[in-house]
C-alpha cells in the first residue's frame, strides 16, 4: 500500500494543488488531509481484499481455494530447477564429458509472483499459530 500511495500521491497533489489555497499553512493542512484520506481509502481497499481472500481460502472447492498453493508449488519447483537441479545436472554432465548447456528459467518474471505469495504466506502462518485455519 505504501508503494501505491507514493506512486499516486504526486499526481493527486499535482491536480489538487490547482485548487488548494495559496497560504502555505492552509495549503500544507489541505495536503495532509488529502494524504490522510487517500491512505484511509487505500487501507479500506486492502481490507476488502483480505475479506475476499478469507472467503476464497474457506472454500472447499480446489478451484477456488487451491490456486494460490498451486502457484506456490510451481514457483517453488521452478526455483528448485533453476538453482539446484540445473546446476547439479550441468556439473554431473560436464564431469562425464557431456558439455550440454541446460536451459535457465527467467526468474525476473517469476520473482514478483513468488514474493507476493510469500508475503501472503506470512499471514497464513499467523492464522496457523492462532489456530484459525482448518
Cell of 39: 491512505
In percent, how much of the chain has pLDDT > 90?
12
Of 85, 67, 79, the residue nearest 106 (C-alpha): 79
Q: What is the pTM of this model?
A: 0.47
Q: pLDDT digits over 44-70, tens only?
A: 888 887 887 787 777 777 766 777 778
Residues 6 or more apart whose Cβ sits within 8 Å of residue 113: 71, 75
Q: pLDDT digits over 93-125, tens only?
A: 999 999 888 888 888 888 887 777 776 656 666
Cell 499459530, residue located: 129
Amino acid at each position: 500500500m505504501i508503494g501505491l500511495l507514493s506512486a499516486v500521491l504526486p499526481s493527486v497533489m499535482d491536480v489538487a494543488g490547482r485548487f488548494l489555497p495559496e497560504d502555505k499553512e492552509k495549503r500544507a493542512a489541505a495536503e495532509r488531509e488529502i494524504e490522510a484520506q487517500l491512505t484511509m481509502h487505500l487501507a479500506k481497499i486492502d481490507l476488502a481484499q483480505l475479506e475476499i481472500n478469507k472467503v476464497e481460502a474457506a472454500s472447499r472447492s480446489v478451484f477456488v481455494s487451491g490456486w494460490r498453493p498451486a502457484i506456490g508449488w510451481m514457483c517453488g519447483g521452478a526455483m528448485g530447477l533453476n538453482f539446484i537441479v540445473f546446476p547439479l545436472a550441468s556439473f554431473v554432465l560436464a564431469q562425464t564429458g557431456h558439455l550440454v548447456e541446460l536451459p535457465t528459467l527467467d526468474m525476473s518474471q517469476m520473482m514478483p509472483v513468488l514474493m507476493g505469495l510469500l508475503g501472503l504466506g506470512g499471514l497464513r502462518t499467523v492464522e496457523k499459530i492462532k489456530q484459525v485455519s482448518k
